Amino acid sequence: MKRACILLAEGFEEVEALTPADYLRRAGIEVTLVGITSNLVKGSHGIYVQADAGIEALWQEYDAIVLPGGMPGAKNLAENAEVCARIVQQQHEGKLVAAICAAPAVVLHGACGLLKGKKFTGYPGTEDSVSGATFVPERVVIDGALITSRGPGTAGEFAIAIIAALENREKADEVVQHTLLKR
């Protein structure tokens, strides 16, 4: 069974974390919601989410690490040295890293330096803070073991891209069909 973790820091964008959690679980992927500073994490719109585990679970083996955006959630992820070290390790191992909204620019580029030479997308305007990478104004952009997406309205497509990368297109299409996601 494939395994993924979704990192939750105070101020995360709820839709960008919970849609992938739901869709990946529908696809049979084991998902761990990892609370970076506590197990009860407040999202950017005041919704509290109970994480499955604390930061100690960050160092388990995962086929994918998923980074929701939202502010100050992305900034809080970027400021955590342990989070950045784990993301860099995941990418160097050739395993999937998926980031949405502000997370590509703030975390992957700003904190981890992982976008150099890559194609990416993100929340409109965040590309202005990224140099050395190619911004593509698509809803989801895949460059090797890196998946990036625009924001809350693309969370479903983002999750489907992660499923297709971890499992296959057929499994992703099953989730699209069962959730009535328009493609």
Distance CA 174, CA 7 (A): 25
Residues in the chain: 183
DSSP SS3 for 42:
strand
Asked if 20 contacts 155 with a C-beta cutoff of 8 angstroms, the reply is: yes
- Measured between alpha carbons, how far is 33 from 18 in angstroms, rounded to an integer? 9
Give me the pLDDT at residue 182, please. Answer: 81
Extract the tokens encoding 135. Answer: 């911004």
Distance CA 176, CA 181 (A): 5
Please spell the DSSP secondary structure of 118-140, one letter per residue: -EE--STTGGGG--SSEE--SSE
Tell me, which fold does domain 3-178 have in CATH?
Rossmann fold (3.40.50)
CB count, 10 Å around CB of 155? 25
Its pTM stands at: 0.97
- Return per-residue pLDDT of the chain as tens, 183 residues: 999 999 999 999 999 999 999 999 999 999 999 999 999 999 999 999 999 999 999 999 999 999 999 999 999 999 999 999 999 999 999 999 999 999 999 999 999 999 999 999 999 999 999 999 999 999 999 999 999 999 999 999 999 999 999 999 999 999 999 999 986
> What pLDDT is stored for residue 138 in this prediction?
97
Residue identified by tokens 């959690």 is: 21
